[in-house]
Amino acid sequence: MSDLTERARELDATHAHTDRRSQFRIPEDVIYLDGNSLGALSTVAAETAADVVSRQWGEQLIRAWNESDWWGAPERVGDRIGTLVGAAPGQVVVTDSTSVNLFKVVVAASRMRPGRSTVLTDPDSFPTDLYITRSAADLLGLTVELVPVAEAADRIAELGSSLALASYSHVDYRTGELWDLEELTRAAHEVGALACWDLCHSAGVVPVGLDDGGADFAVGCGYKYLSGGPGAPSFVYVAQRHLADFDSPLTGWQGHASPFAMSRDYEPAASITRARVGTAPLISLLTLEAALTAFDGLDLQEVRRRSLSLTGFFLEGLGALGVDLPLATPREDERRGSQVSLRHPEAYAVVQALIARGVIGDFREPDIVRLGFAPLYLSHADALAAAEHVAAVLRDKEYERPEFRTRAAVT
């Protein structure tokens, strides 16, 4: 292990230019491997939340809509996220939740492809994607087909002109497998269909390349790798070429072309603003904006290299320690997001035993030990220490202790 310890030091030195650990508040005795579920709190985000409450709300009161530009925040923060997901300005807005934004996209996409009867999505998608897609399809009289990503291109070709939308996750939330956005988008376009991508597990850690990849739509949340805080609002991307035709099913006043005209008739804004609905949760939205400053001065390609180095080194450490659990996450760099998922029949208890040791990950049904590596604040030393803790939990069968088998409400 001394060789690995030295390699950890060397790798941390190599990737020092992407280290933002000092900007985050993480307890010293914690190795936080759940940033793919809830990102760690940044100092500037905490300070901004306090400022929004005490100064902007407390002193400016309603004047803050103008004086602190609360009104323009959804588009302003949207453009900031756009730089991380490869979207030119004017195509991303921060608003609502991932579920609500996906509903908008499924309905709007189907309206843009009248006469087409099918929406394609992954049976292994995060459940809300499945629920929302089916709900929207039921309202529209569409058929939802569940087809794994690996089989999607062939099925798209078979469906041809009956396909309205292919809607997939860029990174599988359970396994961490990274899918080829450009390839699948191209397959959809070849039959005249549209493509939507869920970026919840790739925004901030993978150079998504929405514009370059030809994506039509995308949705994603602000509280995972972007560290916007619990319940931080989501974002939606509508490619510039589709904005004029994006007919949102939720026509709230803040998506209106002239919201303060208080017209009885709805006229959508010409810009990405048309994807807004109601009043944004400003404390959360501005906290997210502050958290995004952690990416200032960083090249996302370099962040990606750090991410791959961390997950690859963790896997190397597990191997050196004799941990031979089945791996759900691909080993190939080009197929791996920023997490490592291990399979174990007592996965929930394994995760609880790790948490008791200060290594915080999470469990996903049915047997996944899911460990997320947020590259901005994790080191290779952390990765090696986490591997040592995993080995100890398995070697000493700590997961068999009764207190680790009792399920909490949130797993």
Residues with a catalytic annotation lie at 126, 198, 223-224, 370
How far apart CA 407 and CA 352 sit, in angstroms, is: 9
Query: For residue 366, is the peptide bond before it cis, meaning its omega torsion is within 30 degrees of 0?
Result: yes
Residue 225: closest CA among 66, 81, 74: 81
Q: Which residue has the tokens 């920023």?
A: 338
The beta strand positions in 261-395, using DSSP E, are: 339-343, 359-360, 362-364, 368-372
Q: Which residue has the tokens 């994607």?
A: 129
Residue 7: closest CA among 384, 378, 326: 384
How far apart CA 86 and CA 185 sit, in angstroms, is: 15
Strands 362-364 and 92-94: unpaired
CB atoms within 10 A of CB 158: 11
Distances in Å between the Cα of 83 and the Cα atoms of 208, 306, 337, 400 are 10, 19, 19, 46
Q: What share of the chain is helix, strand, coil (3-state, %, to 5)?
A: 50, 15, 35
How far apart CA 122 and CA 127 sit, in angstroms, is: 10
Residue 276: closest CA among 238, 221, 232: 238
